[in-house]
Chains A and B, each alone.
Chain A
Amino acid sequence: MKRILIIDDAATVRLYHRQILEKAGYLVEEAFNGLEALEKALQAPFDLYLVDINTPKLDGFGFLRELRSQPITQTPAIMISTMAEERDRQQAAAAGANDYLVKPVRPEQLLAHVRPLLGEVST
């Protein structure tokens, strides 16, 4: 079973994403902020990270930069943000996000991105 880590400080957003992903058969864990996420990732890397940009203590950019400089298995990360400007996407790419979604993310849209990122052939 593929493991996905949701990093978001908003409990409702975490719940929302968790419900979509669990329904689709993924194992989901949550982190409240970048620090907590990093701790979890260092224990056992996930197959995919859903990273909210604005989290307290360590934000999404910071988390990705830290994650990408760790000697662990590197896996894809989706940055999720309310900003849709090209500049924001570039920043996300620079921090090491492999995909970018603009909130609010619709369930089928989320899955359409998660599946190929996990290497799953779409049906």
Chain B
Amino acid sequence: MNPLLTQFLSEARDFLQSIAEKLMQLESAPNDNEAMNELFRAVHTLKGNSGLFDFPEMTRVLHAGEDLLDAVREERLAYSRALADQLLDAMDFVGMLCDEIESRGAIGAQHASVGAELAAALREFMTSDSDSAPDAAPAAPADLARAVASNTPDSIFLAPPAEELLAIPEDIRRAAWQRAHDGASLYWLCYTPDEQCFFQGEDPFFLAQQTPGLLWGRITAREAWPPLAELDAYRCLLRFDLLLAITRAEIDQHFRYVPEQLTLTPLPALALVLPVGDGKDSAEGEDFASAALHQLETGSLDALRHATTVMLELASPQRWLASALRWLLLLLDTHAARGAVRLLLESIRDGATPDWRQSGTADAAAQATPAPPHGDPDTPAALLPRANEVAWEILAWQGEVLAQASRVAALPGHLHAAATTLRNCLRALGRPDDTRRVDEALNEALATSSAAPLAACLQRFLAEAGATAAAPVAATAAAPASSPVATTASDGEGEPRFGRRADDLLPGSRTLKVDQAKIDRLMNLIGEMVVAKNALPYLAARAESGSSAREMAREIKAQHAVINRIAEEMHDAIMQVRMLPVSFVFQRFPRLVRDISRKLGKEVSLVVEGEDTEADKNVIEALADPLVHIVRNSLDHGLENPQERIAAGKAAAGRIALTARQEADRVLIEVRDDGRGIDPAHIRRKAVEKGIIDADTAHRISDQEAINLVFAAGFSTAEQVSDLSGRGVGMDVVRDALEKVSGTVTLESEVGVGTCLRLSLPLSMAVNQVMVIESDGQAFGVAMDCVVETVRLPRSSVHTIKDSLAAVLRGRIVPLRPLNTLLGIEAPPLCNEADELAVLIVRHGSDNVGVIVDDFRQTCDVILKPLDGILDALPGYSGSALMGDGSVLLVLNLKELI
């Protein structure tokens, strides 16, 4: 499996885990907005991720879940247990898809209908429950999806009415009956493409034509055509009705991108038994049928058969009776159930179209479906690529190669390569004798330094082949002789013409690639460590033999220095092993930018620089998500469409530059676009609308401060819901995610010129420098990178402003928070002998906050281990660290605490 997919899967599992937790948490506390927001974000991000791959089933379900949660979040819909159940079901389904992707590398087509059903069920909540919601989400009617999913025998009389089936020519219906008799399942499929599908580059006609097992098809208009002057050529108003002899799985596979646009009905073969022609009501028909019914009752089937044949010879073929007799003969020949034969005879007698839906004949109809002679109806047609066609294609392509060759310097090389290709293809086509003609043309081409002779030779082959190459194609077309729309079942062949396929996922294993040199360095260090260790028994012997204590101390210290150096180097070497290049994250962007810009109809060029810059694995992994959000935002909202750009005097294609570089001990990542920029006035207005700031503040703040409001929780300027960037989830998530790994993000933007986001992250996270502080007799660690300074403030200089403490420090007011209060400890902060409080000034966002502790102790390097087990859920702690004296130090996460 490829690393991208591996990463996607592991991330997806984390999301699913947290989604499940949040759902359950919300059941006990439905008003927990924080949990609600996190839940929504998780589903949103997961949906976005799944969109990077071709997992339409997964994306569909997640999108429905996201819309539902959005409605809940905006209080258009109440959270309920039933809703949670439905969401949990949906997430289980997504988890199951993940398992399947992991084990099989792809999602089986059989899940499409379940996916559609789950998505419909989720959407049903919105339609049924939210009458107050004017902008109900694009609802896929649940019953439609149900119809898709229903494949049960009781749906037998959902078959389309006889009038519809009569549109199918009799000989095709007869062929279909025969197919059913041979064991195929018949389906009536109404494919109603999305009205907007032409804009998404879809070609529903092509898709319909390529349906495997296609026996017949027609195109109809969904509604009356407007006058030409009012016609929108690109609003799809067509519907495709198809008669298929195929397995359910093949249908799901073929239409996997559009399952919600299908209405699929299993078709009992008997429903096709419909005589056509004129003169329905005839005396000879009535006489014949009365006698025939008697023969049927007495079991003289041979006599019945004979009488039918004779009657058929007498009847004029265009007549309704002749048609009915042909069906009768076919029923008898294929040993249809007696009930079916009787019903047909009765209808001949009465001169009426047989009504196979008639309630009393349901059993007869079910039985009358011809029994397959051999038990396996699912044998798929061989879908192997037609090798000869590929060879012809390649052959023809050399024309292009040769045409281009005349314009290049290395003509002989091109000519030789093309000639070899031609010779090989001719051999592959079983025409080895023709290779001589290639050789002659090649010599001439080389002699005249021109590709023309070889091209002419190729043209002759193609012209000669015209007839022969077409022959096999014609033969396959003719095979089901009577079908007007012959079936070739070859959608797997050739290039993806109408949409990409990513069914084939790469095999492989989950591994960390490490440069050989890094491992070698570790090996050397281990060697040194062994030598250093061997010195210790020698030291022990010296101690036993009575060396002086002073001398021993000196030697032990010397040995300690050696081991200390090795330990430090080992640590560094291991850190190096953990370093990954940012390309690990960057690699997904070319595809992402390409796909998204295409969907949005924008032109974008992506420039990536510094992808070799390395940082710790954890940092790189933490970077992935925010970066995807940022780039999507740029694509969605930052860059204008080509017309707007041209109108603004810019190049039609937008530009996104993604650069990484190392500066001291930080990695700097920059995402810069040349789009429309962020309008501070717009942000001010939005922020006021959303209640993030009041109107006064909006006037007071600077433009830069206004722009920074996009980082405020709950802020979003997105006005339309899209598959990609969506709404609400945005910069606040980016900021939070980065802060978790001690990263920062800053934003600059100029209206009409573009936007630039700068991310700064630590190179490494494994070793942390912490300051040990004391509070209520306990020691805690605080990460040094958030400590600005330590001060001792006279108790008298602490003021109470509106219930909270603050002090003036170097001319600025710094809010103060006693650590004991933050931790829920009742004890008041202790002062030293001089009545001073120990205050740790820490960075909090762009401000400083003072944390009042009891005392400061030393700083030290620790290896931070995240809390696990039940402690994992404790907020406020970054993890624990083992100290030199064997004690365990809890390291506080002050950002969360404050």
Contacts and interface: CB of A to CB of B under 8 A. Distances in A.
A112 B502 contact: no
Contacts of A73: 416
A118 B414 CA distance: 17
B404 to A, nearest CB: 4
Given A15-B508, A93-B397, A119-B428, A98 B390 contact: no
Interface in B402-425: 403-405, 407-410, 413-414, 416-418, 420-421, 423-425
Contacts of B387: 112, 115-116, 122
A108 B390 CA distance: 12
Interface residues of A, number: 45
B3 interface: yes
Contact of B425 (A105, A109, A119): A119
Contacts of B410: 65, 68-69, 96
B777 interface: no
B2 A122 contact: no
Contact of B421 (A70, A76, A112, A122): A76
Contacts of B500: 84, 102
B414 A96 contact: yes
A94 B407 contact: yes
A74 B416 contact: yes
Contacts of B384: 108
B503 interface: yes
Interface string B419-450: 01101110111100000000000000000000
Interface in A4-48: 11-13, 15-16, 19
A94 B408 contact: yes
Contacts of B404: 90, 93-94
A10 B421 CA distance: 27
A56 to B, nearest CB: 10
B394 A113 contact: yes
B424 A12 contact: no
A50 interface: no
Contacts of B513: 11
The range of chain B's interface size is 35 or more
B466 interface: no
Interface string B376-403: 0000000011011011001001101101
A94 B407 CA distance: 8
A26 B420 CA distance: 18
A93 B451 CA distance: 13
B554 interface: no
B226 interface: no
Interface in A82-123: 82, 84, 89-90, 93-94, 96-102, 104-109, 112-113, 115-122
B506 interface: yes
A68 to B, nearest CB: 3
Interface string B487-519: 000001011100011111111100001000000
Tell me if B's interface is mostly helix, strand, loop or mixed. helix
Contacts of A108: 384-385
A70 B412 CA distance: 9
Given A75-B420, A117-B425, A96 B506 contact: no
Contacts of A11: 513
A98 B428 contact: no
Interface in B499-554: 500-508, 513
A50 to B, nearest CB: 14
A51 interface: no
Contacts of A94: 404-405, 407-408
A16 B507 contact: yes
B469 to A, nearest CB: 13
Nearest to A97: B401
A102 B421 contact: no
Contacts of A16: 506-508
B591 interface: yes
Contact of A112 (B2, B390, B423): B390
Nearest to B591: A82
Interface in B1-35: 2-3
Contact of A119 (B398, B423, B496): B423
A98 B391 contact: no
B506 A68 contact: no
A87 B385 CA distance: 25
Given A96-B405, A122-B391, A115 B428 contact: yes
Name the residue in B407, B424, B494, B507 with the highest tally of chain A Cβ atoms < 10 Å from its Cβ: B424
Contacts of A122: 387-388, 391, 428
B424 A119 contact: yes
A108 B384 CA distance: 8
B420 A106 contact: no
Contacts of A119: 423-425, 427-428
Nearest to B387: A122
Nearest to B388: A122
A18 B799 CA distance: 73
Contacts of A97: 401
Given A69-B413, A70-B413, A75-B417, A84 B502 contact: no
Contacts of B405: 94, 96
B68 to A, nearest CB: 33
Contact of B506 (A13, A77, A109, A115): A13
B496 A84 contact: yes
Contacts of A112: 385, 387, 390
B394 A99 contact: yes
Nearest to B403: A93
Nearest to A16: B506
Nearest to A100: B397
A120 B428 contact: yes
Nearest to B1: A12
B37 to A, nearest CB: 36
A93 B401 contact: yes
A12 B391 contact: no
B390 A106 contact: no
B428 to A, nearest CB: 4
Given A16-B507, A84-B496, A104-B502, A98 B401 contact: yes
B504 A96 contact: no
A109 B502 contact: no
B833 to A, nearest CB: 65
A113 B390 contact: yes
A90 B494 CA distance: 18
A107 B504 contact: yes
A12 B3 contact: yes
Contacts of A68: 408, 410, 413-414, 417
A68 B500 CA distance: 31
Nearest to B400: A93
B340 to A, nearest CB: 43
Q: Pick the 4 closest A-B CB pairs, nearest first.
A: A122-B387, A68-B413, A119-B424, A74-B416
10 contacts: A69-B409, A76-B417, A82-B591, A94-B408, A107-B504, A109-B494, A116-B394, A116-B429, A118-B424, A121-B428
Given A84-B496, A115-B387, 14 more contacts: A19-B507, A65-B410, A82-B594, A93-B403, A94-B405, A96-B401, A99-B394, A106-B504, A115-B428, A116-B387, A116-B390, A118-B424, A119-B427, A121-B430
